[in-house]
Amino acid sequence: MDRRTWLQLITILAAAREAQPQQRGGATTPPAADAAGRGGRGQGGVPNTPMRVTKEQVGGALKLMGLEFQDAEIDMMLRGVNQALYNYEALRKADVPLDTEPAFAFHPGLPDRTPIKGPQRFETTIAKTPAMKVPSNLEEVAFWRIVELAPLVKSRAVSSTDLTKMYLARMKKYSPKLLCLITSTEELALEQAAAADKEIRAGHYRGPLHGIPFGLKDLFDTKGILTTFGAEPYQTRIAEKDATVVERLRSSGAVLMAKLSMGALAQGGLWFKGMTKTPWNTEQTSSGSSAGSAASTAAGLTGFTLGTETLGSIISPSQACGTVGLRPTYGRISRYGAMGLSWTMDKVGPICRGVEDCAIVLNAVYGPDGRDRTVGADPFHWEPRKPLSSLRIGILQKDFDRYTGEQKKIYDQALEDLKKAGVKMTPTEFAEDGPTIRFLLSAEAAAAFDDITRDGQVRNLRGQAAGDWPNQFRTSRMIPAVEYIRAQRARTLMIAKFEKFMTDWDVLVMPPNSLLTTTNLTGNPQVVLKCGFTEGAKADGTKVQVPRSISFLGKIYDEGSPLRVALAYEQATDWHKKNPVLEV
């Protein structure tokens, strides 16, 4: 849309504001949306926000933009349009100096950031891990981590082919209940597994992912194979290329066995066949949007998976499913061949059953590819034996103290276990900065899927509530370009503030949803893993275990430090050994 059209729209809305009574008695500052419930995406709602923009005014603005929506769709838009107006007004109060640059071509960190120097330092504990005995029933290794599976494959105690067949069988058996599978790549998987076995027999071992079966969130292109984005308009879409991460995992010798469910167009856990479920309670959603990636990993249906995060889509399902999820630094992994939702916020990351597994997968896929210009060249350092005393570790203690009951007891014990493991933590505070400008995500998402909004295909998505993408895409057409640019400039100031705060810390210990909006906008890395269970129940009263998680945040391009502290916690506890009992 051209500048003149937007200026006309702004004039119409400004006139509409002047024509409306200034009812401010019931107005409140819009709260952040519930990130866990919808994979961290959306704007939330304010029930008592005065309706200062009317249906007729929205309809007139839409005509100006050459758009025609149904009456019911415009009715649904009204709350979001009026709420957005309050966000814009709050944003206008921010002091944004004239020389503040917008973060259009986004790169995390400050302009004077010095890239990490020197060669990569990468080691694993695998060489020190004693060989584990192969169970008589191979299915008993289904929940093993990469660090445990890799020695079996390398020593040829278990063939990649047998391991792949075992996971394929489990996927066929349990995925219908979990609704975590979109496309099985069985034929390709068996071919790749056979090739891995042949290479390993010949003495050509590529590394710890060689021969390990994995699954992909179904937004990564795989040449000649369906890539559906979990959405009705793309159910028959066949990719013409491989994503960079697919190429790199193939080079590592990993075996692609499945394209996994995701919330439609990367929102929540609902896709065109239904809601993906957590294996801990198949009556509950796995959250999203990396829904199938987390569910299948937790259920032992694959060796590891890849997901993506824009605003909680790795962190949230990892909590619901009890997996280890790593959201790397923005720009750490190429997004070439991956569905774009928000070009300045999308990130690719692993979902695994162990902390070091995430480091191994990240090591295989990170770095520039000559295609995604946002990717940085900083080396990834993984030093699992690095002394914890060398790290400056802060803790958002007040965020933990907000919890009560069983959740509070779980966190108190987790923090005590960290201390016993040698993690020295200093209390600190930082207030969430991001919610006012989180409409950046919606604006970019609406642009990404403008075509199916205009032609009406978004009406075919299962999710049609006010918080779902169809309504958000329509609502976001009312975001003026000037407001978007101002928000990006405000984001630059927010990044500078958070960078200054993180100067004192290598790692921040916090509940998983703390600072979720801020750190997704700044691009900082975060790792989450389970730290205990609370009791839940199914509809019939059957008791179930609900996993709970803790998280560790790091500096830009330093995933190694939060992973190191997470590993210390994993090694000091047995939570990673607790797995769900699956239903058929």
Active site residues: 217, 289, 313
> Tokens 């990351």 identify what position?
349
For residues 445, 450, 456 and 457, what is the CA-based torsion angle, rounded to 10 degrees? -60
Q: Which of 513, 33, 546, 38 is nearest to 269 (CA)?
A: 38
Q: Which two three-digit tokens encode residue 15?
A: 């006139």
506 dihedral zone (left: phi>0; alpha: psi -120 to 50; beta): alpha
How far is the C-alpha of 250 from the C-alpha of 199, rounded, in Å? 13
**186: which DSSP letter?**
H
Could you tell me which residues are beta bridge partners of residue 122?
Answer: 382
Pairing verdict, β 393-395 and 507-510: parallel
214 three-class SS = strand
In this structure, the chain runs to a length of 584
How far is the C-alpha of 549 from the C-alpha of 448, rounded, in Å? 32
Q: Which of 193, 248, 242 is nearest to 221 (CA)?
A: 242
CB 328 within 8 Å of CB 370: no
Task: Name the E strands within 462-583.
Answer: 507-510, 526-537, 543-554
CA angle in degrees (0–180, nearest 5) for 225-138-321 = 60
How far is the C-alpha of 479 from the C-alpha of 90, rounded, in Å? 14
Q: Measure CA 403 to chain center.
A: 24
Q: Which of 496, 500, 515 is nearest to 553 (CA)?
A: 515
Q: Measure CA 178 to chain center.
A: 19
557 dihedral zone (left: phi>0; alpha: psi -120 to 50; beta): left
- Element (DSSP H or E) covering residue 326: strand 324-327
How far is the C-alpha of 246 from the C-alpha of 254, rounded, in Å? 9
Q: Measure CA 252 to chain center.
A: 23
Tell me phi and psi for residue 145, to 5 degrees: -85, 165
